[in-house]
Structure 1
Amino acid sequence: METSTTAELVSNVYSKLTKNITKFRNVVGRPLTLTEKILSGHFNEINETNFSGGKDYVFLKPDRVALQDVTGQMVMLQFMQAELTQVSLPTTVHCDHLIRAEVQGDIDMKVSLDENSEVFKFLQSAAAKYGCGFWKPGAGIIHQVVLENYAFPGGLMIGTDSHTPNAGGLGMIAIGVGGLDAAETMAGLPWELLYPKRVGVKLTGKLDGWTAPKDIILKVAEELTVSGGTNAIVEYFGPGTKSISCTGKATITNMGAEIGATCSVFPYDERMETYLKYTNRKDIAELANQNKELLVADPEVESNPEKFFDKIIEINLSTLEPHIAGPHTPDLARSISELADDVTSNDYADPISVALIGSCTNSSYEDMSRAASLAQQAKSKGIKSKIPLLVTPGSEQIRGTIERDGQMDSLKDIGATVLANACGPCIGQWNRPELEKNKKNSIVTTFNRNFPGRNDGQRSTLNFIGSPEMIIALALGGRLSFNPLKDDLVAADGSKFKLEPPKIAPEVPEEGFMIPDNIFVAPPTDSSNTPVVIDPNSKRLQRLEPFTKWNGSDFVELPIMVKAKGKCTTDHISPAGAWLSLRGHLDNLSDNMLLGAVNAFNDEVGQGKNILNNKIESFSKIARQYKQQGFNWVIIGDNNYGEG
């Protein structure tokens, strides 16, 4: 199986888009949004149906699948049940979630390789066996690697991670899915999707000064809340889109997951063309230029958007202020000028304990360059970060390039510690031995999620999210109430000074990106004799047994396991952190089931009533007993159950 996004693949996709869009336009009898063009271009078949957003289901044929090392384990175990010799479409595996963050990149990587060797060996062997590409630990975060190598305008991709929509910054419909969806698609089945509603975000004006792409999505989250995009694709349009780099667009679409959106997408433009050319995909840029009408909404949509979107919000980038979101939810956003009052009125911990920049959301060349420009200002005044500053490069390509071009040195000059090219603290692989347990403390990050306990396992940690430049500024100030737009810093000589807005940074390096070696393993031409490596005594990997075949009868009189109360995100349902190590062993992993869910019947967290013995026990213990007795059971969700 060819795993690359070749010009031939893209050309075939555009040919199908051309045919299907014409058919679909005839069916609906009106101009089309970009979302409708890409989706209809990937319909398994087009019938005479005018699909209704949020109600009807459609079957699609994606162009590729991406798996990460945690969720990808179960996908491979499920795919093995199909007894096929090869995946049916280009598929890649990326090792990023199992890499710890504790000391420093090289040290943490060595420990992580030792800790997770059996999982990495399994994934590499399964990738080789079934024709998938394998990105080694240290290659980078899945979404950054996909953007650099595989995403393309007008394509459709699914991935087993909720921030798969990152690729929407390159004009692709990219949707995060569960493992079974991925396994079925890899096996050749069409993929089923609830046809999405359409939310339009019109951008006018131009980003300038302190304002960054991160502020756009934080403003959108403030407007729509964490459930405002549910069952919808968010489509950005308007003249303001052209002022945002391709990687800046990816920051915005990445965090569409935080408003519950199916995904988000931008129309093709010159900024995407530039990025494609600088990432060695000139042939794909040329194909996109030749087919641009397929990769943007019809002109009537931009002229009269209210006729084509279910909801529209408008943001003037010229007047947008820098925003900070948090704690505990990404839609609790406010402008930086309002943060100090919020700190006081809510009794947040004002001193910042740690600042972190990077992650799949904000680790581009442009992000690191803007952060480095502030670090250079600090160095010129003889000061450093007042708190620990941790930097996570998004990929080995980014790490090598900013090391070559000097941004890394600028960040180190003010005290930064560089972590491995991986998810690390963002996904909860962060060990903080210096932190007193349950002590309220504030951290500032460029991450996408700030749910309680997500980053360091401590629900007392308050995570405030912002742009890379704003996080560097807050690190220099050392407190949440510091406003870099108004407040002074003190130089080494005792004089006061204000930070200047970060310099306009190049979106791509003038010398081109550094091309790393030995981080990707292509599948062999013949894998018939390739074994899949699973130790039968493993506590981390377990071959699956098929479920008992359904007898055709309805499920009736099911006991209620839990009625969830209030916010119950994916982190409440199946926590990450230490549990990530068990994602390939279904039996052991099941002990984390609903650990963070609040039970509406008794307000207990992670516990409910066992109807077999009338005791209050953990949900996983109850479920095991029900299974032994042959009971099925049901969960009742509250509003926005499964957020994330």
Structure 2
Amino acid sequence: MFDYLAATKRTDIGEFARSYAHGLRPDEGAEYDQLIEINLSELEPYINGPFTPDLGTPISKFSQAVKENGWPDELKVGLIGSCTNSSYEDMSRAASIARDALNHGIKAKAAFTVTPGSEQIRATIERDGQLQTFEEFGGMVLANACGPCIGQWDRRDVKKGTANSIISSYNRNFTGRNDGNPATHSFVASPDMVVALTIAGSLHFNPLTDTLKDKDGKEFKLAPPTGDGLPVRGYDPGQDTYQAPPKDRASVTVDVSPTSDRLQILTPFQPWDGKDAKDLPILIKAKGKTTTDHISMAGPWLKYRGHLDNISNNMLIGAINEANDEANKIHNFTNGEWGAVPAVARDYKAKGIKWVVIGDWNYGEGSSREHAALEPRHLGGLAIITRSFARIHETNLKKQGMLPLTFTDPADYDKIRPDDKVDLLCTKLEVGKPFPMIVHPADGSPSFEISLSHTFNEPQIEWFKNGSALNTMAKAAKN
């Protein structure tokens, strides 16, 4: 790690970390309750997916899984890069596999794209030749941006609704995330594995055991990947696109057209009114996996990222409603009609009605997408109550002045019906103490109390009271 920090002009941080290295070493003669032995020679690559990054299959069993599950075995596209797996070593190892194929007279059978994770990585691998190898291999080099990882992909080789398989080294592969096609079977693997399967064009290929045919029809096995952890000649910073702000900022104004549909000046969220919240409707009781892509979709919606009101029209449109097993169709208790989630939320907000969401396990899994927390707050939500949260999303909700709460007993999720109402005793919010919720069943049966848990600390409780973390910072700045 020190070598990496030094190579990226952060030697001072490396030296600082080294001063605490002793805390990471065991005391002489230390004993442990449990010893875990790992035979590295028995480890093998995994391929995760489709449709979720937590479905992992070892490469030795992957071909059989493809057959048993009926996944499309032809690989249409291989994609490497983006922010997660595009280090110099990642790109070097992937390029070594591509070069091995080129030396045998063959190129990528599937389409292949490369997304450099930064301008520094792009410039460095261009200088050192990896980028040219990828292009010679048949790859298309994309911009240094999120790209297909977040749905910025104008894909035209398959029609929407057509089942097909792609594989990437990105960190997410939720349904429809990469190309907007819910029928695309998206798999996740290391850059090495992505390139290897792209050469074969088939999900049945195992580069550890299987062979390919060279330009003369002779069989050969791909050599194990190789690559330097750091560039021998150091990093090339590439083009300097940073524009420093003026020294005198007093005269700087931010002018946004009121008719813009892509930019909007934000209004600070209102602070807590100091009261318990009574008779709150459940906007939606989400069933099963509810990721940040279900809460705030990306792709074509990204053009509205600077306009909170417009992008809020995608809030929870991918979540499955337990009441009807459908997405983006919920019951509006004020008029008895069924409508889209954002539309019903807006109706409640216009009528001064706060609401809650009931969620399942690992609610908010996925990226650190802040809009997934901003949108519920903007449309009048007070709390998200789940069996469990993905950590980053839970923190984002706190920062926006919302209450991320979990069922102390996860089985209590099943006691609540989508048309029930709840009271949240916000005045009882204290560090380390249960949070009480009263449930009022829609069928007229007696109300009952459910214990909720939370992870708020004292500063985070101030975020809730002040309306958001930003409000808290602004308040402190005035004092």
Q: Secondary structure at the match of 2:24?
A: coil
What is the CA-CA distance between 1:379 and the residue it aligns to? Answer: 0.8
CA contact (8 A) 2:111 2:138 kept: yes
Name the structure 2 match of 1:551: 273
Once the two structures are superposed, the pairs formed by residues 544-623 of structure 1 within 5 Å of their partners are 544-623=266-345
Whether the aligned pair in 1 keeps the contact of 2:124 and 2:238 (CA below 8 Å) is: no
Query: 1:376 maps to which residue?
Result: 99
Contact map agreement 2:304 2:311 (CA 8 A) in 1: yes
Given the superposition, is the C-alpha separation of residues 302 and 411 from structure 1 closer, same or farther in structure 2, using an over 3 Å criterion? farther
Q: Give the whole-Å Cα distance in 2 for the aligned partners of 1:560 and 1:554.
A: 16
Equivalences for residues 462-541 of structure 1 within 5 A: 462-503=185-226, 505-541=227-263
2:7 aligned with 1:275: no
Cα distance in 2 between the residues matched to 1:487 and 1:302: 47
- The one-letter amino acid paired with 1:277 is A
What's the CA shift for 1:279? 1.6
**Structure 1 residue runs of 4+, over 6 Å off?**
none
Deviation at 1:446, TM superposition (A): 0.4
Q: Is the 8 A contact 2:105 2:214 kept in 1?
A: yes
2:20 is equivalent to residue 297 of structure 1:
no
- CA deviation after TM superposition for structure 1 residue 314, in Å: 6.7
Q: What is the aligned partner in structure 2 of residue 330 from structure 1?
A: 53
For the structure 1 residues 548 and 333, does the alpha-carbon distance in structure 2 shift closer, same or farther, using more than 3 Å as the test? closer
SS of 1:528 mapped into structure 2: coil
CA distance in 2, matches of 1:291, 1:523: 36
CA distance in 1: counterparts of 2:263 and 2:357, whole angstroms? 27
CA deviations 1:212-252 (Å, max 9, x no partner) are xxxxxxxxxxxxxxxxxxxxxxxxxxxxxxxxxxxxxxxxx
Structure 1 partner of 2:17? 288
Q: How far apart are 1:375 and its partner, in Å?
A: 1.0
Q: Give 2:15's aligned amino acid.
A: E
Task: Tell me the residue number matched to 1:87.
Answer: none
Higher RCO (CA-CA < 8 Å; seq separation 6+): 1
1:367 is aligned, of 51, 67, 90, to 90
Cα distance between partner residues in 2 of 1:414 and 1:508 = 23
How many residue pairs end up in the alignment?
A: 366
CA distance in 2, matches of 1:427, 1:289: 36
Question: 1-side partners of 2:61 and 2:269: how far apart?
Answer: 53
Residue 119 of structure 2 is aligned to residue 390 of structure 1:
no
Picking from 133, 142, 158, the partner of 1:435 is 158
> What's the CA shift string for 1:381-401, capped at 9, x where partnerless?
110100110001111111111
Unaligned runs of 5+ in 2: 367-479
**Structure 2 match to 1:111:** none
Please state if 1:320 is matched with 2:43.
yes
Mark the runs of 5 or more structure 1 residues left unpaired by the alignment: 1-271
- CA change 1:313–1:467 in 2 (3 A) is farther
Deviation at 1:613, TM superposition (A): 1.9
Instruction: Say which of 397, 409, 412 aligns to 2:135.
Output: 412
> How far did residue 304 of structure 1 move?
5.0
SS across alignment from 2:339: strand
User: How far 1:642 sits from its partner (Å)?
Assistant: 1.6
Question: Given the superposition, is the C-alpha separation of residues 612 and 428 from structure 1 closer, same or farther in structure 2, using an over 3 Å criterion?
Answer: same
Identity %, equivalent residues: 52
Offset at residue 521 of structure 1 (A): 2.6
1:626 partner SS: helix
- How many Å separate the matches in 2 of 1:380 and 1:602? 56
Whole-Å Cα distance in 2 between the matches of residues 487 and 405 of structure 1? 30
Q: Does 1:630 align with 2:357?
A: no
Higher fraction of helix: 1
**Counterpart amino acid of residue 297 in structure 1:** L
Residues 508 and 438 from structure 1, CA distance in 2 versus in 1: closer, same or farther, beyond 3 angstroms? same
Encode CA deviations 1:536-566: one digit per residue, 9 max, x unaligned: 2211122223444543221111111111111
Asked whether the 8 Å contact 2:116–2:122 carries over to 1, the reply is: yes
- CA deviations 1:471-500 (Å, max 9, x no partner) are 111001110011111111111111111111
- In 2, the alpha carbon distance for the partners of 1:448 and 1:547 equals 32
SS of equivalent residue, structure 2 residue 149: helix
Give the structure 2 partner of residue 35 of structure 1: none
Distance 1:613 1:300 in 2: 68
Write the deviation string for residues 123-181 of structure 1: whole angstroms up to 9, x where unpaired.
Answer: xxxxxxxxxxxxxxxxxxxxxxxxxxxxxxxxxxxxxxxxxxxxxxxxxxxxxxxxxxx
Shift of residue 315, structure 1, vs aligned partner? 4.8
Q: Secondary structure at the match of 2:47?
A: strand
Counterpart mapping for 1:14-93 below 5 A: none
Structure 2 residue identity aligned to 1:498: K
- Report the secondary structure of 1:357's partner residue: strand
Distance in 1 between the 2:252 and 2:319 partners?
A: 42
Distance verdict in 2 for CA 1:624–1:287, change over 3 Å: closer
- For 2:263 and 2:346, how far apart are their aligned partners in 1? 19
Cα-to-partner distance string for 1:245-272 (whole Å, 9 max, x where unaligned): xxxxxxxxxxxxxxxxxxxxxxxxxxx1
Q: Which amino acid aligns with 2:52?
A: T
Cα 1:542–1:435 change in 2 (3 A) is same
Residue 368 of structure 1 aligns with an amino acid whose one-letter code is: M
In the superposition, relative to structure 1, how do residues 301 and 427 fare at CA in structure 2: closer, same or farther (>3 Å)?
farther
Query: Counterpart of 2:277 in 1: which secondary structure?
Result: coil
1:348 aligns with 2:71: yes
**1:303 to 1:315, Cα distance in 2 relative to 1, 3 A:** farther
Residue 461 (structure 1) aligned with residue 184 (structure 2)? yes
Following superposition, the deviation at residue 363 of structure 1 comes to 0.5
* Paired residue type of 1:472: V
SS of the residue aligned with 2:167? strand
Matches of residues 301-312 of structure 1 in structure 2 within 5 Å? 303=30
User: Offset of 1:291 from its aligned partner?
Assistant: 4.1
Distance 1:282 1:641 in 2: 39
> How far is 1:407 from its partner?
0.9
TM-score, normalisation: structure 2: 0.73
